[in-house]
Structure 1
């Protein structure tokens, strides 16, 4: 029988899996619409690959613990991601709002993995804790890239939007 530490840990692990599913869908939607911001698009595409690798790492933790994933949470997260992506399409300053949202989402992921590391350790899963630390480092690197490049993305948007007849939003 699982302890409450394990139950919470397993629930949060399922949440992390759903979060990465959501991240992949949001990033794919954002990258598919970017036309005039090649650096941003390239970094997002790189992070899509990192996110897929993170999903595989999470799957290995599920397998190691012999627990099931949550199909419902994954499905809800995908629907939520699609709604968020669709909503951004209509903003005239989509690229700037997307860059800000990306940074915020990375910070959310960092916090989730920080908590998940503590939960894994409390449940006695050092293997899982090491994997979450590895994933968190990738999220920290992406968050840093986002905040470091936000001024550039903003300036590029402002420059493009000042040009008559030039598409700036994506």
Structure 2
């Protein structure tokens, strides 16, 4: 593979990751607005939104270092699909559970994307990018681990609220 091919793959991956992180924001922000009974989830989402903003900035910095820019079209398209997914869950009686499952799946998708980007960065000699990519990977892993560790508690609370006659609204 030529250096140009590796660079093209890397830049495309960075642009895709930038759009992916914008999609993540469009998923998490509507969830926070709807949370009533799960303050621990709201707090964690707020924290991860701040991390995601940092991840977007790191990706923009890496792209700028390569004299490239993010793809506004990809950003917009994935943000729209994220907002649609969040809206789709809002009509479900078990919205908090569906959101928890979707968030866990999305975090693992992001983990895979960052692992792949790190592999391409290493193959292409883009060592200046690895620190930022590793930081983003660590944040995504931490969020996925938190979601995994809390799914039983969220489900139990949901059941308890339902049993008490509460709406169990997120």
- For residues 90-133 of structure 1, what are the alpha-carbon distances to aligned partners after superposition, in whole Å with 9 as ceiling and x for unaligned? 11000011011111111110000000001111121111122111
- For residues 70-104 of structure 1, what are the alpha-carbon distances to aligned partners after superposition, in whole Å with 9 as ceiling and x for unaligned? 11100101110111011011110000110111111
- For residues 38-67 of structure 1, what are the alpha-carbon distances to aligned partners after superposition, in whole Å with 9 as ceiling and x for unaligned? 111100111000000111111110111111
Please give the residue correspondences for 1:17-166 in structure 2 after superposition, counting only pairs within 5 Å: 17-164=18-165, 166=166
Moved over 6 A (4+): none
Q: Give the Cα–Cα distance (whole angstroms) in 2 for the partners of residues 87 and 46 of structure 1.
A: 24
TM-score (norm 2): 0.96
Unmatched tracts of structure 1, length 5 or more: none
- For residues 132-167 of structure 1, what are the alpha-carbon distances to aligned partners after superposition, in whole Å with 9 as ceiling and x for unaligned? 111000000000000001110000000001122x12
C-alpha contact 1:118 1:129 (8 A) present in aligned 2: no
Unmatched tracts of structure 2, length 5 or more: none
Displacement, 1:2? 6.1
Partner of 1:169: 169
Q: Give the Cα–Cα distance (whole angstroms) in 2 for the partners of residues 42 and 68 of structure 1.
A: 32
Q: Give the Cα–Cα distance (whole angstroms) in 2 for the partners of residues 68 and 109 of structure 1.
A: 20
Q: Give the Cα–Cα distance (whole angstroms) in 2 for the partners of residues 156 and 145 of structure 1.
A: 16
Displacement, 1:169? 3.1
TM-score (norm 1): 0.96
Q: Does 1:9 align with 2:25?
A: no
Q: Give the Cα–Cα distance (whole angstroms) in 1 for the partners of residues 69 and 135 of structure 2.
A: 22
Displacement, 1:26? 0.6
More moved, 138-147 vs 120-129: 120-129
